[in-house]
Amino acid sequence: MRIRSIGVCLLLCVLALVPLSANRVAAQSQNAEKPALYTYVSEWTVPRAMWADYLKGDAADIDIMKKSVADGSIVSFGNYVVVNHQEGQPTHGTWFSATSMSGILKVLENVRTAPGATAPPLAAAKHWDYIMESHDYDSHSGTFTNGYLRVGTWRTKADSSDPGGKVLKATFVSLLEKLMADGALHAYQVDEEVVHSTDVGTIFVVVVTNGPEGVDKFNAALEEAQKSNPAGWAGLRATLDPAGHRDMLARVGTMTHK
């Protein structure tokens, strides 16, 4: 199996979608919960000498994903190569999302039984899988090849709470919706594991930017938001354990949202 992480990345035709995004911001402000979105993430640590072979093998998986979007089994997919490498950590990843767990499992079975599932680059790689659930997400429709995926991981503090995610929605989600409307992002998700392999209470803020410029726009907007609303962001930080924070940055090879 060649499936790897989302997670997470991240689209064009922004002007046509600005009114739609404005409505989404209003919905978020009213704490309207979106239907669950499930994401399967796989990550691989591929030996450097086998990177080229691994990428060649991606084509078969991408074909499966395209067919799965077309038949409605999944609503999006993407693959990526990690930029900030760490010893023993993932080098490559893939994700796909569906509106049901049955959609996830159907496509997963197709990938696991594909001819390339036992290819040498995969047999030689370390491997991690995650199954995520999100109720805070947004994306632009289309296929994009210029994205950068950034995943921020936090653990929530045991002695703090954010009922209904109100503080998170008023800070991070609101910011991400504005960046979607501005065209800086192709997509975002705020995920928690539905099948836990990490600590309960871990959240993943996932964005796919519109090109490398989108990374700068995201960073600048995040800094400005914290300056303009210090109390709100202080409230968010009070719910998070800084010792549990990690970031990942990757180059998205291709991504498609229905």
The reported pTM is 0.84
Closest CA to 120 of 47, 34, 193, 39: 47
Classified as helix, coil or strand, 208 is strand
Q: Which CATH architecture has domain 14-257?
A: 2-Layer Sandwich (3.30)
d(CA 64, CA 195): 24
CA distance 81 to 9: 11
Instruction: Give me the percent of the chain exceeding a pLDDT of 90.
Output: 67
Structure confidence at residue 125 as a pLDDT band (50, 70, 90): confident
Q: Which two tokens stand for residue 245?
A: 């924070």
Close Cβ partners of 8 (under 8 Å, ≥ 6 residues apart): 39, 41, 78, 80, 93, 95, 149, 151, 189, 191, 204, 206, 207, 208
Q: What is the pLDDT of residues 187-242, one digit of tens each?
A: 999 999 999 988 888 999 999 999 999 999 999 999 999 999 999 999 999 999 98
* pLDDT, mean over the chain: 86
Q: How many CB atoms lie within 10 A of CB 174?
A: 17
For residue 191, CA distances in Å to 60, 61, 62, 175, 188 come to 27, 24, 23, 16, 10
Round to whole Å and give the CA distance between 88 and 84. Answer: 12
The answer, yes or no, to whether residue 153 has pLDDT greater than 70, is yes
pLDDT value at residue 21: 42
Q: How many CA atoms lie within 13 A of 258 on its CB side?
A: 16
pLDDT for the residue 160: 78
Spatial CA neighbour of 7 closest among 121, 92, 65 = 92
Give residue-wise pLDDT tens across range 32-81. Answer: 789 999 999 999 999 999 999 888 888 888 899 999 999 999 999 999 99
Instruction: Choose between 168 and 27: higher pLDDT.
Output: 168
pLDDT value of position 11 = 29
Residue 19 has pLDDT above 50, yes or no: no
The partner residues of 42 in beta bridges, in order of sequence, read 94, 129
Higher pLDDT among residues 23 and 85, named by residue: 85
Domain ranges in the chain are 14-257
Task: Report yes or no: 150 and 209 within 8 Å, Cβ to Cβ.
Answer: yes
